[in-house]
Amino acid sequence: MRQKVVGVLGGMGPESTADLLAKIVRSTPVTREQDHLRVIVDSNPKVPNRTDALLSGETAPVIRALTETARNLERAGAELIGMPCNTAHAFLAEVRKSVGVPVLDMIDEAAGRARQVFGAGAVIGLLATDGTHRAGIYHEALGRHGLVPVAPVAREVQRGVMDALGAVKLSGVLEESGRALAVAIGDLSEQGATALVAGCTEVSLVLEKYPPDLPWVDPLQVLAEALVREAGGHP
Is the four-CA dihedral 110, 16, 62, 64 of positive or negative sign? Answer: negative
Instruction: Output the pLDDT for position 43.
Output: 98
Dist. CA 18–CA 22, nearest whole Å: 6
Q: How far apart are CA 82 and CA 23, in angstroms?
A: 13
Burial 169-196 (b: 16+ CB within 10 A, else e): beeebbeebbebbbebbebbbeeebebb
- Condensed to tens digits (0 to 9), the pLDDT of residues 140-188 reads 999 999 999 999 999 999 999 999 999 999 999 999 999 999 999 999 9
> What pLDDT score was predicted for residue 106?
98
Cβ atoms of 69 and 44 closer than 8 Å: yes
Mean pLDDT per 10-residue run, the chain (235 residues)? 94 96 97 96 97 97 98 98 98 98 98 98 98 97 98 95 94 93 96 98 96 97 98 78
pLDDT of residue 234: 74
Residues with a catalytic annotation lie at: 85, 200
What proportions of the chain, in percent to the nearest 5, are helix, strand and coil?
55, 15, 30
What is the per-residue pLDDT for 233? 78
pLDDT score for 200 = 97
Q: What is the DSSP letter of 154?
A: S
